[in-house]
């Protein structure tokens, strides 16, 4: 066989964006770190010069790529000349690749310069459609290549341009190597529309990387999970360049808590953050998650890219039609590879498949959004690289060891069977695969579990390996589970919690937040920042620090927990004595709004506000109705407004159940929020700009309060109706979203005005309570502002810490049951010792909380939890 000139048909079949470079004329295509700017016209000319140096015969060209101008020109020149180009890492070991495929030409860094080495025609027969050959996402043993047609490269670039909205005004920096399919997709998509590439080989933690980005007004950044880990460590979140407009992530699973963290950060700054999914076998991309879905769907991969489609198949190969059913993910689209190449003869083969069986297990929800839940094949994707677990086992053998290797894409777990130095083996594997040391978790095993068939039980090994790793990181519960995992299981008894679950994702609320925070701090010796958005697996993997706690040891506690405890005690004191400490119920209203935004924002952004209201009914209203019905039976009366939860519109002053106006007002507020969440503009505002949503609601609710005071004759209702309380819910929401200095200053100023209004009022528009009640309300608002905005954590002795935490966790049960204690002791028996009444009320509430928690473990399917 001999090489042949490229004919018109072949050139047309392999045509890509590279053939259109000159159409963008003098627009800048590439800027290098040394200041060289290359126009599209000049880039096309240089590419053609390189193509000419290859001759007129169609060749197999190996380009050992780096993020520099010469290899980029070589890649584009090979495409423009109709040649088939293999991309590999520059300065890497390509001996096996060259020995297997014997390329006609090699462009590589040699002797301190870029050189083109050619040889006599090798006789390769290359299929007319073949344009690019890539290794499979960094798979070890890179002699297995993905064959990509020119049409696939072109189609994928066009699809990425469409869903990312890339224009000629974009300037993308090369944060990933372009021999890697993800990095190559950045190059292809941007050059296809006349955008600019900022060429650099520097890491994202290099200060010169960002100097170059800022100097050239970069607009977009692409990264694999490890990139985002480096960004967090380097302080990027506090110093991102103002020109940055788009961030994308692919190359492996980014933990949902990290997605949420970056998604929230990007949303606050008006940056578009896309989460994507792909494989080299599909040229680069197959699915994406829109920026407006990132916060509400952290952990999902989204929908198929334009021009592509997904389906799921079961073990028999039948299409899975029902939502939320696991099956293998299969992709169809014009970007699917022609097939693999493991030998030169494969290069002559045409397209061998029309759809790609990804090897990933996934499920599709009712909205058509997909989530990866596992992997069929024996590969792990670690730090953006696909590593063959079978190859790692073979490497163990080469090192003189015998073992089994499993992975969950968080780490690679090695079960050594013949003893040895586990740490040393981990270091050797880390060096071989160029991965961080913590990517490998090596343990000594005496024997391996097997299935009834006698085959190795890989799933059992994975579960046990993860448990060993977690137990090594921190203490374990008596049943062998990690203490944190056991605490989550107790907090959410009606759902099976997994290592990828988070407190927020499980629908946590303030009632179990306190207990879990105490358990986590007890296991680790500290409470991680934003732990509620971290996965259980991530929390279990954290290393404990500090010495065992004594009763006098100081521990941090969130100020919100302390304020909750003080507020519920104030409610009891206010009802059981002549002390004027009114305002505790209003504080609890603010905290309800605070936690509504903290835990239920994603549900509201999805239009699921009524599920939040329903959860409130299940968790709070049911025990309330038990007390209410018992009271009505004892009084032999029928109170329809109370049963309909609207008695706060008429008042029931002087009765045992008067304090429960608060329950009605909270529920009514939740119904209003649920109604708002039905509107698409509201959903978008909550998803994109929750701070703005909170401010709009705060202003609107405050105006409603003022207008209602002016127009309605209901001062006798003592500010217990929704028009008077909704602004407190909105205020709490804003407190939660005040995560920058400027926002805290804005709210502080607003709170100063509200504090003044509590004392002086606005005649006819904002009625102030008479002194000293007005002073009490003003003091509570000032405390909320200070604690929720400026002093979010306090130090307390360990014993006090526990007492405060338990009372705060039981606060709503104390609210519900304290009237029973007061009726019996304070009113019936006339016993007026405040300390006794307070202690009895708290004790009964704690018992009720404990009983309710145990009863919940016996209930059926999990209900959503209220944001209280």
- Based on the fold, state whether residues 784 and 753 are members of the same structural domain: yes
**Confidence grade of residue 450 (pLDDT, cut at 50, 70, 90):** low
Contact 473, 467 (CB under 8 A): no
Please give the pLDDT value at position 848. 87
Report which of residues 813 and 408 the model is more confident about. Answer: 813
- DSSP tag of 414: E
Report pLDDT digits (tens) over 346-359.
Answer: 999 999 998 999 98
Report pLDDT digits (tens) over 108-152.
Answer: 988 788 999 988 777 789 999 999 999 875 443 357 899 999 999
Q: Which two tokens stand for residue 362?
A: 């996934």
**Confidence grade of residue 463 (pLDDT, cut at 50, 70, 90):** confident
Rounded CA separation 300/276 (Å): 9
Element holding 244 (H helix, E strand):
none
Q: Please check the confidence at residue 682 and state whether its pLDDT lies above 50.
A: yes
Domain boundary among 449, 473, 497: 473
- Based on the fold, state whether residues 654 and 746 are members of the same structural domain: yes
Give the mean pLDDT of 395-402. Answer: 84
Give the mean pLDDT of 820-837. Answer: 80
- Which residues face 414 on adjacent strands? 405, 442
Q: Which residue is it, tokens 């590999």?
A: 88
Contact 328, 375 (CB under 8 A): no
- DSSP tag of 252: S
- Based on the fold, state whether residues 251 and 198 are members of the same structural domain: yes
Q: Please check the confidence at residue 479 and state whether its pLDDT lies above 90.
A: no
Q: Please check the confidence at residue 578 and state whether its pLDDT lies above 90.
A: no
**Confidence grade of residue 207 (pLDDT, cut at 50, 70, 90):** confident
Mean pLDDT of the chain: 85
- Based on the fold, state whether residues 487 and 455 are members of the same structural domain: no
Sequence-ordered alpha helix ranges (H) in 637-740 = 640-643, 661-676, 680-688, 690-711, 722-737
Please give the pLDDT value at position 512. 67
Rounded CA separation 405/234 (Å): 32
The answer to whether residue 862 sits within a structural domain is no
- DSSP tag of 544: P
Residue 9 burial class via C-beta count within 10 angstroms: exposed 0-12, middle 13-18, buried 19 and up = exposed
Lowest mean pLDDT among 392-401, 491-500, 811-820: 491-500
Contact 354, 149 (CB under 8 A): no
- Based on the fold, state whether residues 429 and 490 are members of the same structural domain: no
**Confidence grade of residue 733 (pLDDT, cut at 50, 70, 90):** very high
Report which of residues 664 and 476 the model is more confident about. Answer: 664
- Based on the fold, state whether residues 423 and 275 are members of the same structural domain: no
Report pLDDT digits (tens) over 264-321.
Answer: 999 999 999 999 999 999 998 999 999 999 999 998 999 999 999 999 998 788 999 9
**Confidence grade of residue 860 (pLDDT, cut at 50, 70, 90):** very low
Report which of residues 325 and 532 the model is more confident about. Answer: 325
Please give the pLDDT value at position 545. 59
Contact 171, 196 (CB under 8 A): yes
The answer to whether residue 866 sits within a structural domain is no
User: Pairing state of beta strands 287-289 and 246-249?
Assistant: unpaired
Q: Which two tokens stand for residue 235?
A: 């302080």
Contact 258, 226 (CB under 8 A): no
- Based on the fold, state whether residues 368 and 425 are members of the same structural domain: no
Q: Find, among 601, 743, 742, the residue nearest to 673 by Cα.
A: 601
Task: Looking at mean pLDDT, say which of 611-615, 640-644, 736-740, 854-858 comes out highest.
Answer: 640-644
- Based on the fold, state whether residues 243 and 315 are members of the same structural domain: yes
Lowest mean pLDDT among 108-117, 431-440, 853-862: 853-862
| Alpha-carbon separation of residue 272 from 6, 211, 520, 852 (angstroms) | 42, 21, 33, 43
Write the CATH number for 439.
3.30.300.30
Please give the pLDDT value at position 142. 52
Rounded percentage of the chain residues whose pLDDT exceeds 90: 44
Please give the pLDDT value at position 547. 52
- Based on the fold, state whether residues 251 and 271 are members of the same structural domain: yes
Rounded CA separation 675/441 (Å): 50
Please give the pLDDT value at position 494. 56
- Based on the fold, state whether residues 710 and 802 are members of the same structural domain: yes
Q: Find, among 98, 85, 183, 74, the residue nearest to 131 by Cα.
A: 85
Please give the pLDDT value at position 213. 95
In which domain, by residue range, is 494 found? 483-548
Contacts of 14 (CB under 8 A, 6+ apart): 79, 82, 128, 129, 130, 131, 149, 150
Q: Which residue is it, tokens 């224009």?
A: 167
Dihedral angle, C-alpha 750, 752, 753, 759, nearest 10 °: 150
Q: Please check the confidence at residue 867 and state whether its pLDDT lies above 50.
A: no
Q: Which two tokens stand for residue 458?
A: 């890989």
Lowest mean pLDDT among 79-83, 298-302, 603-607: 603-607
Report pLDDT digits (tens) over 21-68.
Answer: 999 999 999 999 988 999 999 999 999 999 999 988 899 999 999 999
Report which of residues 90 and 379 the model is more confident about. Answer: 90
Q: Please check the confidence at residue 13 and state whether its pLDDT lies above 50.
A: no
Three-class SS state of 847 = helix
Q: Please check the confidence at residue 546 and state whether its pLDDT lies above 60.
A: no
Please give the pLDDT value at position 668. 93
Please give the pLDDT value at position 509. 67
- Based on the fold, state whether residues 720 and 631 are members of the same structural domain: yes
The answer to whether residue 386 sits within a structural domain is yes
Rounded CA separation 606/267 (Å): 16
The answer to whether residue 150 sits within a structural domain is yes
Rounded CA separation 289/245 (Å): 16
Task: Looking at mean pLDDT, say which of 189-203, 513-527, 603-617 comes out highest.
Answer: 189-203
The answer to whether residue 553 sits within a structural domain is no
Q: Within 10 Å of residue 424's Cβ, how many Cβ atoms?
A: 11
| Alpha-carbon separation of residue 461 from 445, 448, 468, 543, 676 (angstroms) | 10, 7, 10, 22, 49
Taking 3-state DSSP, the helix, strand and coil percentages for the chain, each rounded to the nearest 5, stand at 50, 15, 35
CA angle 251, 255, 257 (to 5 degrees): 140
Q: Within 10 Å of residue 302's Cβ, how many Cβ atoms?
A: 22
Write the CATH number for 500.
1.10.1200.10
What pTM value is reported for the model? 0.51
- Which residues face 557 on adjacent strands? 794
Q: Please check the confidence at residue 452 and state whether its pLDDT lies above 50.
A: no
Report which of residues 443 and 515 the model is more confident about. Answer: 443
Domain boundary among 497, 528, 548: 548
The answer to whether residue 864 sits within a structural domain is no
The answer to whether residue 478 sits within a structural domain is no
The answer to whether residue 189 sits within a structural domain is yes
Residue 304: φ, ψ to 5°:
-65, 150
**Confidence grade of residue 454 (pLDDT, cut at 50, 70, 90):** very low
Element holding 117 (H helix, E strand):
strand 113-118
Q: Please check the confidence at residue 159 and state whether its pLDDT lies above 90.
A: yes
Please give the pLDDT value at position 863. 35
Give the mean pLDDT of 727-732. Answer: 95
Q: Please check the confidence at residue 496 and state whether its pLDDT lies above 70.
A: no
Q: Which residue is it, tokens 């960002």?
A: 210
Contact 677, 608 (CB under 8 A): yes
Rounded percentage of the chain residues whose pLDDT exceeds 70: 89
Rounded CA separation 798/555 (Å): 6
User: Pairing state of beta strands 272-277 and 246-249?
Assistant: parallel
Q: Please check the confidence at residue 866 and state whether its pLDDT lies above 90.
A: no
Domain boundary among 418, 449, 473: 473
**What is the chain's alpha carbon radius of gyration, rounded to the nearest angstrom?**
32
Rounded CA separation 57/63 (Å): 17
Please give the pLDDT value at position 22. 95
Contacts of 803 (CB under 8 A, 6+ apart): none
User: Pairing state of beta strands 196-199 and 28-32?
Assistant: parallel
Please give the pLDDT value at position 21. 96
Lowest mean pLDDT among 422-426, 486-490, 703-707: 486-490
Residue 415 burial class via C-beta count within 10 angstroms: exposed 0-12, middle 13-18, buried 19 and up = buried
Query: How many domains would you assign to the chain?
Result: 4
Three-class SS state of 648 = helix
Three-class SS state of 834 = helix
Residue 181: φ, ψ to 5°:
-55, -40
- Based on the fold, state whether residues 403 and 418 are members of the same structural domain: yes
Report pLDDT digits (tens) over 228-277.
Answer: 878 887 778 888 899 999 999 998 878 888 899 999 999 999 999 999 99
Three-class SS state of 514 = helix
């Amino acid at each position: 066989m001999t090489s042949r000139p490229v004919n018109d048909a072949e050139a047309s079949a392999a045509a890509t964006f590279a053939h259109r470079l000159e159409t963008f004329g003098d627009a800048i295509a590439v800027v290098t770190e040394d200041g060289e700017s290359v126009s599209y016209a000049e880039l096309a000319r240089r590419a053609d010069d390189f193509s000419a140096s290859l001759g007129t015969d169609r060749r197999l060209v190996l380009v050992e790529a780096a993020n520099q101008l010469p290899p980029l020109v070589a890649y584009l020149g090979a495409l423009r000349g109709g040649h088939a180009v293999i991309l590999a890492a520059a300065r890497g070991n390509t001996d096996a690749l060259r020995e297997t495929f014997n390329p006609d030409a090699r462009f590589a860094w040699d002797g301190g310069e870029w050189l083109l080495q050619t040889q006599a025609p090798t006789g390769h027969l290359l299929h007319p459609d073949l344009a690019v050959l890539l290794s499979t996402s960094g798979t070890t043993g890179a002699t297995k290549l993905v064959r990509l047609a020119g049409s696939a490269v072109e189609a994928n670039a066009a699809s990425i341009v469409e869903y990312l909205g890339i224009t000629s005004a974009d300037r993308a920096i090369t944060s990933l190597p372009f021999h890697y399919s993800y990095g190559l997709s950045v190059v292809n998509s941007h050059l296809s529309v006349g955008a600019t590439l900022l060429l650099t080989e520097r890491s994202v933690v290099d200060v010169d990387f960002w100097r170059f980005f800022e100097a050239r007004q970069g607009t977009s950044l692409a990264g694999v999970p490890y990139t985002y880990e480096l960004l967090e460590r380097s302080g990027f979140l506090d110093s991102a360049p103002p020109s940055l407009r788009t961030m994308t992530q692919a190359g492996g699973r980014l933990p949902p808590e990290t997605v949420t963290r970056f998604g929230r950060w990007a949303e606050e700054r008006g940056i578009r953050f896309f989460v994507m999914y792909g494989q080299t076998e599909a040229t680069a991309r197959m699915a994406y998650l829109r920026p407006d879905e990132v916060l509400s769907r952290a952990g999902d991969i989204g929908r198929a890219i334009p021009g592509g489609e997904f389906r799921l198949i079961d073990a028999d190969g039948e299409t899975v039609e029902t939502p939320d059913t696991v099956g293998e993910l299969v992709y169809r689209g014009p970007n699917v590879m022609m097939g693999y190449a493991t030998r030169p003869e494969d290069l002559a083969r045409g397209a061998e498949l029309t759809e790609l069986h990804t090897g990933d297990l996934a499920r599709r929800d009712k909205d058509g959004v997909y989530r990866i839940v596992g992997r069929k094949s024996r590969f792990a994707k670690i730090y953006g690289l696909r590593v063959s677990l079978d190859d790692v086992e073979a490497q163990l053998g080469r090192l003189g060891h015998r073992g089994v290797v499993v992975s969950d894409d968080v780490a690679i777990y090695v079960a050594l069977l013949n003893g040895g130095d586990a740490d040393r083996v981990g270091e050797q594997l880390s060096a071989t695969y160029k991965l961080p040391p913590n990517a490998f978790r090596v343990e000594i095993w005496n024997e391996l579990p097997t299935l009834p068939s006698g085959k190795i039980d890989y799933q059992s090994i994975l579960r046990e390996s993860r448990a060993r790793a977690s137990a090594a990181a921190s203490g374990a519960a008596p049943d062998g589970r990690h203490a944190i995992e056991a605490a989550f299981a107790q907090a959410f008894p009606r759902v099976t919690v997994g290592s990828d679950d988070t407190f927020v994702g499980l629908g946590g609320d303030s009632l179990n937040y306190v207990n879990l925070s105490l358990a986590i701090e007890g296991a680790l010796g500290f409470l991680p920042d934003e732990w509620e958005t971290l996965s259980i697996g991530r929390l279990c993997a954290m290393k404990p620090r500090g010495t065992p706690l004594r009763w006098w040891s100081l521990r941090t506690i969130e100020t919100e927990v302390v304020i909750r405890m003080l507020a519920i005690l104030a409610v009891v004191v206010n009802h059981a004595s002549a002390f004027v400490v009114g305002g505790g119920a209003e504080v609890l209203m603010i905290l309800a709004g605070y936690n509504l935004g903290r835990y239920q924002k994603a549900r509201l952004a999805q239009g699921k506000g009524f599920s939040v209201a329903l959860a409130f009914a299940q968790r709070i209203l049911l025990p309330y109705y038990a007390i209410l019905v018992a009271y009505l039976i004892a009084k032999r009366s029928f109170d329809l407004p109370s049963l309909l939860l609207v008695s706060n519109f008429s008042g029931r002053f002087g009765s045992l159940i008067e304090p429960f106006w608060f329950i009605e007002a909270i529920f009514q507020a939740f119904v209003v929020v649920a109604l708002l969440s039905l509107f698409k503009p509201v959903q978008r505002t909550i998803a994109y700009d929750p701070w703005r949503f909170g401010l709009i609601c705060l202003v609107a609710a405050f105006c409603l309060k003022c207008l209602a005071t002016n127009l309605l004759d209901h001062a006798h209702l003592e500010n217990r109706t929704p028009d008077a309380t909704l602004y407190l819910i909105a205020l709490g929401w804003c407190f939660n979203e005040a995560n920058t200095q400027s926002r805290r200053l804005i709210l502080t100023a607003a709170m100063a005005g509200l504090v003044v209004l509590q004392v002086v009022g606005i005649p006819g528009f904002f009625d102030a309570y008479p002194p000293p009640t007005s002073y009490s309300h003003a003091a509570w608002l000032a405390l909320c502002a200070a604690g929720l905005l400026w002093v979010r954590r306090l130090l307390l002795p360990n014993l006090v810490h526990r007492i405060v935490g338990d009372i705060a966790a039981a606060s709503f049960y104390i609210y519900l049951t304290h009237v029973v204690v007061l009726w019996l002791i304070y009113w019936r028996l006339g016993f007026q010792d405040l300390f006794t009444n307070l202690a009895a009320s708290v004790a009964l509430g704690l018992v009720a909380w404990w009983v309710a928690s145990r009863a919940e473990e016996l209930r059926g399917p999990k209900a959503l939890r209220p944001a209280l």
